[in-house]
Amino acid sequence: MPTIAVDAMGGDQGPDEVVKGVAQVSLETEIESLLVGDEARIQAVLERVPYNPEHIAILHCRDAIGMAETPRDAVKKKDASLLVGVRAVADGRAAAMVSAGNTGACVLACAQHFALLPGIKRAALASVYPRQTEYDGQDALALLLDVGATVRCEAPELVQFALMGSAYARRISKLPSPRVGLLNMGSEEGKGGDVLAEAHRRLRALPGIEFVGNVEGNDLVRGKADVIVCEGLLGNVALKLLEGVAEVLADVTRSAADSRVTWRLGLRLLSGGIDRLQALTDYRQYGGAPILGFRQLFLKCHGRSSSSAIANAVKVAAKAVRDRVPSEIADAVAALR
Amino acid sequence: MKALRFRRPPAPPPLLCRWDLDKTYLRSEFDTLAQLWRTAWETGADKVEVPGVVDVIKGLKATADRRGRAVQMQFISASPPQIGKAIRDKLALDGIPYDGIAFKDQLQHLRRGNLRKLREHTGFKLTELLRGRAAAPADARELLFGDDWESDPLIYSVYADMVAGRLGGALLERVLARIGVDAASVPGIVAEAARVAGPARVDRIFINLERRSPTGVFRLYGPRVVPSFNYFQTAIVLASDGWLDPEDLLRVAGALACGAGFTPRRLENSLADLVRRGHVTPETGDRLARPLRKAGLLPPGPHGPADWFRRRLAALRRRRPPLASEEALDYTAILERLPARRATPEAKAT
């Protein structure tokens, strides 16, 4: 069973929710978690919950990176839990890392300490989000990459993102041939400027992936593509828009219930469906989003991750290690060359 | 000239080990009626022990023998004597040396129509513990082994404080009533406790965390109670107290590695957990780990001055104040945390 390093101090609710998530994993699986952070605080949480110590190790460090810190300054804290954990993975003490901490610092720490896979030009931060499915067996989650690691991209980098996302979806979502789409402002292949047009041409000619052409913003939440490729700036805006819409919907529903008794009654009647919808759009269910392109694996969880989200992320990280996702990506890129 | 006379050093005080059977020695499954029914019909060969427990018992005996210390192994079970044959067969199969097994005679209570006593195990256990204590040499030291399934930490702690003369009179009566001891048994227990009370003799109470109860809930019971997740942890504390020799600790770790799939990393994590919880000092942990590393049962240790310095820093960081003093426990606080019980008829009458 692989060892997964977990940034105990990362996120809005670290170390409490992070440690509880790891404790849950220790009882349910044989995965070894290496909790990185302040030992006394981690132990204080552990003593309040059931856990299996055989599957938990602690790597002590004093510092932590705040969610609002600028990434460049944050990664200068050499004894911060994120940096210590990333180094532990780079040194081979753990096989992958999970963190709910500062996203920019996570990407920068990986760039500083992890090695890129042969042939990979840029790493990509992917995001897993729920969407409508179009056929039986299609995963209810889609992969959007890049969502912020590489702000501006060239066509060859977008092609590599497609290969990386496709390899990840093959291994993790168990889709034999994931559909890959290019996020653009229209479905026609010449749309979106030179870079996107060139990326479209290359992707269409690429063997080994099922390219479905351009996908537009409204296609993001439909099942047209399983892997959606874009540059970091666009991906980040799209992701935040999806999250914002989901949050506004929840707020509107809540305030509707407060406004009128009849609406409250109606919502009560629909509560089963609303619960299912909330479960579908609840980021806490999906664990983490991978940073792809490095020899080592990194899963970035939402900053507000609950213990179950952390537990899911640790399990996904272990699965990605077991299924040799980096090797799959390296093979796909090597085949392209 | 006076002839040189060699005087043999006095024999060390005897050791009395008291073991609960189900969930402590045996991996008994009786969470459902079907499992309970199956357990009742199991033979000795069907019964499965908790990994490592056999080697801990054999190790305790071997260490005591090497030091010329008399040792007694006694089992106390709330199961009926009708399953005694299966238990004795199992102990014989495992090669466990034992000096007595006390069962709860449920049939007798049934015949007398004493249905309340059928469910009441606390009074039975305390009575048996006191009976064993009275029969043992006065200077015998005790180790108690139970689990977190029922109320072993509390029963054992009450017993330990009773025999140490730290718990008696009205407080003892209140504690016994609150933990559900049958009212008819209370005067007998209080009188017996007063009779055997002497200097503190229960060294440790080991609680096998079969239900994975949060370890923090045991803090109230003080450092005498050691909640352990596996018998390697139990063996480590026994070795740090001198009840188990290093070669016996090695045997326990080996048995878990060969028979229960414990990897060196799992064993190392178990040891580190004990140190973090303060049951073993970092220095003792390091000392006990050395032969285990040499035997390949723990991962190779860190080397070099930098690692030595890091380990020292970790040791300083982990140095925490003692878990609690050796005085009587705060039973008021412990009782407050107990789940509410149904009032007994006597309590209702008052």
Cβ contacts (< 8 Å) between A20 and chain B: which residues?
Answer: none
Q: Check residue B348 and give its pLDDT.
A: 36
pLDDT at A269: 78
CB atoms inside a 10 Å sphere around CB B339: 4
- Sequence-ordered list of residues with C-beta below 8 angstroms from that of B251, at least 6 positions apart, any chain: B55, B58, B59
Q: Quick one: pLDDT at residue B10?
A: 74
Identify which of A310, A324, A301, A285 has the alpha carbon closest to the alpha carbon of residue A141: A285
The pLDDT, as a whole number, for residue B328 is 72
User: How many beta-carbon pairs below 8 A join chains A and B?
Assistant: 52
Cα–Cα distance measured from residue A11 to residue A100, given in angstroms and rounded to the nearest whole number: 4
B212, B191 in Cβ contact below 8 A? no
DSSP state of A302: P
Partners of A60 in the β-ladder: A37
Letter string b/e over residues A112-134, b meaning 16 or more CB atoms within 10 A of that residue's CB: ebbeebeebebbbbbbbbbbeee
Identify residues of B whose CB sits under 8 angstroms from chain A CBs.
211-216, 219, 229-230, 233, 262, 265-270, 272-273, 276-277, 314, 317-318
Query: Alpha-carbon dihedral of residues A309, A311, A314, A319, nearest 10 degrees?
Result: -100
> Which range, A276-285, B33-42, B89-98, B184-193, is most confident?
B89-98
Q: B320 Cβ partners below 8 Å, 6+ apart?
A: B278
The CA-atom distances, in angstroms, between B26 and each of A24, B19, B89 are: 26, 11, 13
Mean per-residue pLDDT, B256-270: 95
- Which residues are within 8 A (CB) of B71 and not within 5 positions of it... i.e. 6 or more apart? B14, B15, B16, B17, B60, B61, B64, B65
Cβ-in-10-Å burial (0-12, 13-18, 19+) of B179 comes to buried
Distance from C-alpha of B336 to C-alpha of B342, rounded to nearest angstrom: 15
Looking from the CA of B161 toward its CB, the CA atoms found within 13 Å total: 23
How big is the CA angle at A300 (ends A143 and B268), to the nearest 5 degrees?
Answer: 130
* CA B186 vs CA A159, B124, B168: distances in Å: 80, 11, 11
B81: confidence class by pLDDT, cuts 50, 70, 90 = confident
User: What string of DSSP letters covers A71-127?
Assistant: HHHHTT-TTBHHHHHHHHHHTTS-SEEEE-S-HHHHHHHHHHHSPBPTT--S-EEEE
Q: Report chain A's terminal Cα–Cα distance, integer Å.
A: 33
Of B214, B230, B318, the CB nearest to A48: B214
pLDDT surpassing 50 at residue B13: yes
Q: Check B214 against A27: CB less than 8 A apart.
A: no
CA distances from A315 to A81, A269, A310, B303, B307 (A): 20, 36, 9, 32, 31
- The CATH homologous superfamily for domain A1-117+293-337 is Isopropylmalate Dehydrogenase (3.40.718.10)
- Name the more confident of B61 and B11: B61
**b/e per residue, A66-76, with b = 16+ CB within 10 A?**
ebebebeebbe
Chain B CB contacts of A58 below 8 Å: 272, 276
Closest alpha carbon within chain A to B215: A47
What is the C-alpha to C-alpha distance for residues B165 and B196, in angstroms, rounded to an integer? 8
**Angle (nearest 5°) at CA B66 between B61 and B70:** 55
Judged by CB atoms closer than 8 Å, whether chains meet at B213 and A50 is answered as yes
**B233 contacts in chain A (CB < 8 Å):** 53
Burial of B208 (0-12, 13-18, 19+ CB in 10 A): buried
Interface test with A, best of B215, B229, B311, B318 (most A CBs within 10 A): B215
Closest CA to A73 of A109, A36, A98: A109
Lowest mean pLDDT among A326-330, B79-83, B291-295: B79-83
Q: Which domains does chain B have, with CATH numbers?
A: 13-228 (3.40.50.1000), 246-321 (no CATH)
With a cut of 70, say whether residue B178 has pLDDT above it.
yes
Who among B212, B267, B270 is closest to A50 (CB)? B212
Interchain contact, B212 vs A57, CB within 8 Å: no
Q: What is the complex's ipTM, to 2 decimals?
A: 0.86
Across the interface, whether the CB atoms of B229 and A32 are under 8 A apart is answered no
Å between B309 CA and nearest CA of chain A: 14
Q: What is the mean pLDDT of chain B?
A: 85
Yes or no: say if A199 and A159 are a contact pair by the CB < 8 Å rule: yes
What integer pLDDT is reported at residue B340 of this predicted model?
Answer: 62
Instruction: Name the one residue in this structure whose structure tokens are 């060139």.
Output: A198
- Across the interface, do A52 and B229 touch by the CB < 8 Å criterion? yes
Percent of chain B residues topping a pLDDT of 70:
80
Distance (Å, rounded) from C-alpha B53 to C-alpha A88? 35
* Cβ separation A47–B277 shorter than 8 A: yes
One-letter amino acid of B84: G
Interface of A with B (CB under 8 A): 3, 27, 32, 39-40, 43, 46-58, 60
Spatial distance between the Cα atoms of A328 and A284, rounded to a whole number of angstroms? 27
Q: What is the pLDDT of residues B332-345, one digit of tens each?
A: 888 888 776 544 43
Confirm if A35 and A6 have CB atoms less than 8 A apart: yes
Selecting from B214, B230, B272 the residue whose C-beta is nearest the C-beta of A50 gives: B214
pLDDT of residue B299: 92
Spatial strand order of the sheet with A96-99 comes to A56-60, A32-37, A3-7, A96-99, A297-301, A288-292, A124-130, A141-145, A227-229, A179-183, A210-215
Chain A environment of B219 (Cβ under 8 Å): 47
Give the largest Cα separation in chain A, rounded.
64
Question: What are the beta bridge partners of residue B75?
Answer: B19, B101
Mean pLDDT in residue range B11-36: 84
Distance of alpha carbon B280 from alpha carbon B223, whole angstroms: 10
Q: How confident is the model at residue B306 (pLDDT cuts 50, 70, 90)?
A: low
Q: Which pLDDT score, from 0 to 100, does residue B342 have? A: 44
Residue B334 tokens, joined: 């412990």
Q: What is the pLDDT of residue A213?
A: 94
* Pairing mode of beta strands B202-208, A32-37: unpaired
Residue B196 to chain A, least CA–CA distance (Å):
36
Q: Are A186 and A214 in contact (CB under 8 A)?
A: yes
Option in B211, B214, B314 nearest A49 (CB): B214
Cβ contact A253:A266 at 8 Å: no
**B216 contacts A58? CB cut-off 8 A:** no
What are the distances in angstroms from CA B210 to CA A162, A292, B26, B40, B120? 48, 41, 11, 20, 21
> Is the backbone peptide bond immediately before A79 cis, with ω within 30 degrees of 0?
no
Q: With 0-12 CB in 10 A as exposed, 13-18 as middle and 19+ as buried, what is A96?
A: buried
Better pLDDT: B230 or B349: B230
pLDDT at B110: 61
State yes or no: pLDDT of B324 exceeds 80: no
pLDDT attached to residue A140:
83
- Beta bridge pairs of residue B333: none
A47: nearest CB among B216, B233, B265: B216
**Encoding tokens for residue A316?**
């996904």
Cα angle: B44, vertex B50, B54; to 5 degrees:
75
CB-CB contact of A146 with A125 (8 Å) = yes
- For residues B236 and B270, give the distance between their C-alpha atoms in angstroms, rounded to a whole number: 10
pLDDT tens per residue, chain A (337 residues)? 899 999 999 999 889 999 999 999 999 999 999 999 999 999 999 999 999 999 999 999 999 999 999 999 999 999 999 999 999 999 999 999 999 999 999 999 999 999 999 989 899 999 888 888 888 888 888 999 999 888 888 999 999 999 999 999 998 888 889 999 999 998 888 888 899 999 999 999 998 899 999 999 888 888 899 999 999 999 988 888 887 887 787 788 778 777 778 878 887 777 777 776 666 566 666 668 899 999 999 999 988 888 999 999 999 999 999 999 999 999 988 887 7
Q: Residue B237 in contact with residue B280, Cβ under 8 Å?
A: yes
Q: In the block, which residue shows the tokens 């509410």?
A: B340
Give me the residue spans of the domains in chain A: 1-117+293-337
